[in-house]
Structure formats: C-alpha cells, structure tokens
Structure 1
Amino acid sequence: MPATPYKHLHDKNISSKKPTSCVVLAVVMACLTVLGIILAIAILERPSYSDKNDGEKILPLEPSIDSCSMAPVETIPLYMEYNDSATFGLPTQTVWEDLIAMATKQVDVVSFYWTLTGPDINVNSSSAIPGSHILTGLGSLPTRNVSVRVLISNPTVLTNSTDLKDLQQKGVQVREVEFGRLTHGVLHTKFWIVDRKHLFLGSPNMDWRALTQVKELGVVLHNCSTLAIDLEKIFNSYWEMGFPNSTLPDPWPSKYDTNITKSHPLLVEKDNITSQMYISGSPPLFCPQSRTPDIDAILTTISEAQHYVDVAVMEYLPMMQFEKPQTYWSVLDDAIRAAAFDRKVKIRMLVSCGRDSNPSVLSFLQSLAALDNHISHMSIKIKLFIVPVGNQTDIPYSRVNHNKYMVTDKAAYIGTSNWSGDYFTTTGGVGLVISQHAPHLIWKKSLQSQLRAVFERDWNSHFAIYLDELGHHPDCALGT
C-alpha cells in the first residue's frame, strides 16, 4: 500500500522506528472499506421496505397463485343508442346469471335494497323480467345445496318488495344491518362473493332497474380466491352486526384484519399483465385499522396520477348532505384542485344528471369548471351525462348514470359510493383499486385500458354535455 497518504501520520504521531503500526492501521482501514462495500451491496439487494408519508411500510410483493381474470361490467339502459364502433363491458345480467350458474358451495350478496320484480315498486314493465330471472336463480340455489346469505340495509329504501321473504322461504339466510343505529348512516355496499373465489362489485343494487333502466358499472373477477376471501371479511363484519342489539367492536377482532392494503396490494400476474389490487372500506367505524379506508383509496389514486384523472360518478357534493345542519366537506374537492394546480394533472369529470338529481351539485361543479384555464395550465373539464327518459316516465328513480369509478394513468378505482362526505364517514361502502402494467401490444386487454375506453366512449357521446351547454333539459333537474 502506498505510504504517501499516511505520510502525515509518520510526521506527527508514529515513530519511524515502529513501521508495523502503520501496516496494522492500513490493514484495518482496508478491511473497514471492504466491509462497507459488502454492507452496501446487501442493502441494495435486500427487499424494499421504504417508508411512505403515512408511516406505513411497503412490504415485498409475492405473486399470488390466483389467476384473477377480470373484466368491466355494465348496464346500458334500454333505448340508449351509441355509435356502431362503441365498446362495452360485459352485461350485468349475463354476469349475475353466470355467477349463479357456476356456484357450487356458497353465495354471499350484499345490497342497499332489493327490488327485483316490477310489483316491488308498483310498476308493470317488461323491462323487469330480467330481475325476476335473477331472483328465481338465487332462490333455486339452496335446492342445489348452495348456501346463500343476503344482507340489506336497515333503514332502507321504502318499497313493497317481497323479494327477501320469498328467498327466505326457499332457504336463503337474510339479515338486516341497522346502520342507522350503529353509524347514523346506511349500508350502501353492493357486491357478490361466489364460492370464495369469484366476486363482483360496483354500482348496481339488487334492482331490476339496474339491469335495464339504470346505467351501471362494476367489475367481475374470476378465480381470485385471495381477494374474494378478503372481501368476505367485510361481508362477515356486516353479517355479525346483523344480530339484534349488536354493538360495534373497538377494536375489531383480528379475524377481520387484512394484509392486503394500499401499501401491500395483492400481486397477480396473468397473460403478461401484472396487477396490484386491494379492497378499501367505509365507514371507518366498520373497518379494522388494517383496512385501507375508502376515502384514502380515492385520495391516493388521485395523488399518484401524473397525467390524467377521469371520474364518472352519479353525484358529486363536497358536503355532509345528510347531516343537520349540512356542513361543507372539502376533502375530495381539495384533492382534485391540488392535482390540477400543483401537478398540472388533466381532470375530466362526468357527473350524472337525471330528473331526481340534487340541484346543489351544479354550483360545486361550476366552481371546479371555473378553474379550467390554459394561462395557468390548469385543466378541469366537466360534463353532465344525461340518460334520455323517452317513454319510460312511469319508472321512478331510473334513467340515470349510476357509475362510481375513476381511471388514471396509474390506476383504476371502482366503488359503490357517491362522492360526498357522508358516504365516507357514516355509510357502508367498498372500493377496488387496481394498478396494472403490461407490454404495449396487450395493454388494451387490461382492465385499466378497458375502463378508459368506457370513459372515452361516454365522454364523447351525445349523452354528455358541458355545463354551459345545458340550458333547459326535461331529463336533467339541473337545467335552467
């Protein structure tokens, strides 16, 4: 080893008569250097546990053994005409019928309310026939030795429905969850779990109008046991709270915990497409601490977008609309404004307008749209989506775009909640977040790409109009 770098040591502290001390020191220094290199390599090669802003740690992902095929699911209301080149998700009716047909052991269904037959709402319409078929199919499952559990909110929408009584007579287990007593909200969740390996979630309630008269969007996943079992934990939490005089546990027992979160999503690889997924839940009172809250899932999806955020939702209201008095709730509104202003993310929002839409929606949307400014490089574009009523005027609470999803350049979110404060603080709901990667040539097969295509189809359709184009419209309560 060259002596030059250590010449000052000889000059000041080490006698020239003790050369071995210099050699020993040099050897020690060299060993420490080698050890530092080894440690650096070990650190670089170990699995990542980098901290996030919220203090959670990102755990190393192991690919799931599940195949998890997935597809968007849609209801396009009768008498809606798109152009010939438009693409669509799988029909809701077909997906539900297929799930019933493939069930061999267990089916769990949760819905805000049930009205699967026309007489439920005193309507005589041929468009109610598909709902009757679904009701019959579910009622036949116990004869095939398939266990069926059904959950519904209490309080719920007032109807004359006998659906659940009919199902109970056929061996289906039914429970009502008193969300009003437990959280001062409602159980707004809508999902299916079949044989603990197939699942469906999205905007459709168990309502015949969700099959023919209301525009809906959801997602179906087949052979996805890990995610289905995780969703079952949410179902079981509702089921447990369906007992009379139940009380919310604090904390929730460990059997409801999840290890699939926004910081540790489920990793699935299929057909050269890599998907990272997790299920979020609301309200916080109904979730163990390990479950990602639904509002956090939405905020994270928006905050991680780099180029665009496309939102399709029935109702957008930055307020606690079911509280007395109503109060302003800026959480989502702030996130959208920050994404557009701070990161110059392009925002597009497709908000439904029907005969029963809340007039308060318009002023909030106008406030957002006013920020669209090419000088400040902010892009927030908003359209109203109007489902034509036509000759279907005798069917109440229909002809509306009931979608609740978002797609960005980084992820997709499919939920069961409208975008207003109560849905994330007191109301039962779930969401599914999926982030996918695939080679360019097969990207169109990904769920993210298909959802973006659905959004583009609707955004560019003649059913979608900008706010300043509205004027008076007989099918939109927001019209002047």
Structure 2
Amino acid sequence: MEIRQHEWLSASPHEGFEQMRLKSRPKEPSPSLTRVGANFYSSVKQQDYSASVWLRRKDKLEHSQQKCIVIFALVCCFAILVALIFSAVDIMGEDEDGLSEKNCQNKCRIALVENIPEGLNYSENAPFHLSLFQGWMNLLNMAKKSVDIVSSHWDLNHSHPSACQMKELGVIFYNCSCLVLDLQRIFALYSSLKFKNRVPLTWSKRLYGVYDNEKKLQLQLNETKSQAFVSNSPKLFCPKNRSFDIDAIY
C-alpha cells in the first residue's frame, strides 16, 4: 500500500509537470499556414517589384518623349530662324552683275526725249529734244543681255501712229550704274510679287532701297553735280529705305 502510494506520488509530479509544461508552451503554427503566408508575401513582393519596374519604364518613356518633343521644337525654331536670316540678310553683298555702291559708275549722261504730235510746232528758238522712238531704239541697240521694262499699264491701241500723237516727255540716263543698282531692286521687287498671292509683311534685304530722299545718290549729270533717288508706289511696294512717290514730289 505504501509502495503504491509512493509510486503514485513519485509518478504524479512528473505527469503534472508535463501537463503544465504542455499547457504553458505556445502553439506553433501549422506548416501549411506558414507556407501559404510565405507564398503570399513573396507574390506581393514580386507584384511590388513588377509595379516599380513598370513605373520606372513609364517614367523613362515619358522622359524620352519629352526629350524628343523639346529637340523637335528646337529644330523647328532653328529652321525658322535660318529662313528668316536668309530672307533678311544680303548674303552676297552685291546685286546682279556684281554691282555695289563701291564699284558703280556715278558719272552719267542724261538726255531728254519727247513726242511732239503732228501739227504742234514750236518756235525756231525752242529747244529740240530726241524723239521718244529714237531714244528707245538707242537703248535697245546698246543692250547687251536684256532690257527690263516697268510700265503702269499697256493699251493695245498704242500703235505707232497713235503713240506719236501723244505728248510725252522722258529722261534717259546713260552709263549710270549707281542708279541702275537701285532700279534693279525695284525690278526684283516686281518680279518677286508674281510668285505670291499677297504682299509680304517683311521684305528681303535685297529689295531695300539703296538711296532715298534722306540718303540721295551723289552723281554727275553731264558734268554737273547732282543728287538723285528712285521712288515707288503704292506704299505697300515700298520696303525699307524706299521713298514713296508722293513724299518724293513734296
């Protein structure tokens, strides 16, 4: 009896301690839950990484697109600037035939030409001028390459007999390349307008006037010191340094 009780007493504390130790030990998660949690964390981490990679690629793409837009805008601005410079700057520094203010001829000869209708007689002491027809023939015979003509209008009924019955007065300049230098720009202005359907807002520097009413051409006409400049009309056809007809008259 005592031995049994001793055995019970000896065994009982151990069993109680084991039970208490089992009750106080924390519960460990099951292996299946741990594996699921790890997989879920790894999948979330992969999604975060892929999302960050996609955002980086998107940022790089947007940055490259912005760079392309900026470069394209700069190229367009540069092209426009070059076009404006070439249209406004006289690249060669000379007009046709190599004429410039430094090498042109300012010692000129001038002659008056006129048409006198039939039946209109002047006195014997009246000055006699070259006929308009003969003046035209002289210019045509002296021309080496071409003859430029600027006329306000042409009439088909201006035959030789009818033209001779009109009272007309003109001036012919001979060997006056400095004046031709300025006249060439007026001819070039008219020629440039035939390719356009409107008058440009800004004119090329090649069409600027060389002389005007403030800066007159100093020349010698028949060995007489004189001043001259060329005007134009209408006012829309007057680039920089080109005098308007009415301003030249008054």
Give the TM-score normalised by structure 1.
Answer: 0.29
The 1:64/1:228 distance shift into structure 2, 3 A limit, reads: closer
Distance 1:252 1:209, change over 3 A: farther
Q: Secondary structure at the match of 1:259?
A: coil
Match of 1:285, SS state, is helix
Match 2:229 to one of 272, 278, 288? 278
Change (3 A) 1:75 1:261: same
Given the superposition, is the C-alpha separation of residues 209 and 232 from structure 1 closer, same or farther in structure 2, using an over 3 Å criterion?
Answer: farther
Correspondence 1:179-258 to 2 at 5 A: 209-210=162-163, 212-243=164-195, 245-258=196-209
Counterpart mapping for 1:90-101 below 5 A = 90-101=130-141
Give aligned pairs, total: 150
Q: Output the amino acid matched with 2:168.
A: E
> Contact conserved, 1:63 with 1:268, CA < 8 A, in 2?
no
Per the TM alignment, residue 246 of structure 1 is displaced from its structure 2 partner at its CA by 2.3
Equivalent residues of 2:105, 2:177 under 8 A apart: no
Question: Structure 1: 5+ residue runs without aligned partners?
Answer: 1-60, 132-207, 300-480
| CA shift in 2, pair 1:278/1:77, >3 Å | same
Match of 1:82 among 122, 132, 140: 122
Aligned equivalents of 2:152, 2:220: Cα separation in 1: 33
Matches within 5 A, 1:312-331: none
Alignment of 1:87-236 (within 5 A): 87-115=127-155, 120-121=156-157, 128=159, 131=160, 209-210=162-163, 212-236=164-188
The whole-number CA distance in structure 2 between the counterparts of 1:62 and 1:233 is 17
C-alpha RMSD of the superposition: 2.4
Report how far residue 271 of structure 1 moved: 5.1
Q: Secondary structure of the residue that 1:262 maps to in structure 2?
A: coil
**What SS does the corresponding residue of 2:187 show, helix, strand or coil?**
helix
Task: Check conservation: 2:108, 2:173, Cα contact below 8 A.
Answer: yes
Structure 1 counterpart SS, 2:107: coil
Q: For residue 74 of structure 1, what is the amino acid of its counterpart?
A: E
Alignment of 1:276-355 (within 5 A): 276-299=227-250
Q: Larger % of helix: which?
A: 2
SS in 2 for 1:111: coil
Once residues 229 and 63 of structure 1 are traced to their aligned partners in structure 2, the CA distance between those partners, rounded to angstroms, is 10
Q: State whether residues 72 and 218 of structure 1, in contact with CA within 8 Å, keep that contact through their aligned partners in structure 2.
A: yes
Deviations 1:333-383 (A, max 9, x none): xxxxxxxxxxxxxxxxxxxxxxxxxxxxxxxxxxxxxxxxxxxxxxxxxxx
The unaligned stretches of length 5 or more in structure 2 are 1-100
Q: Give, in angstroms, the shift of residue 112 of structure 1.
A: 2.9
1:100 deviates by 0.8
> Does the CA contact (< 8 Å) of 2:113 and 2:170 recur in 1?
yes
Q: For the residues of structure 2 that align with 1:256 and 1:90, how far apart are their CA atoms?
A: 33
The alpha-carbon deviation at position 261 of structure 1 amounts to 1.1
3-state SS in 1 of match to 2:147: strand
Tell me which of the two structures has the higher relative contact order, counting C-alpha pairs closer than 8 angstroms and 6 or more residues apart.
2
1:377-418: CA deviation from partner (whole Å, max 9, x where unpaired):
xxxxxxxxxxxxxxxxxxxxxxxxxxxxxxxxxxxxxxxxxx
Q: Cα offset for 1:290?
A: 1.0
Describe the shift of the 1:238–1:270 C-alpha distance in structure 2 as closer, same or farther (beyond 3 A).
closer
Task: Name which one, 1 or 2, has greater alpha-carbon Rg.
Answer: 2
Q: Is the CA contact 1:74–1:88 (under 8 Å) kept in the aligned structure 2? A: no
Separation in 2, partners of 1:64, 1:104: 18
Counterparts of 2:175 and 2:222, CA distance in 1: 14
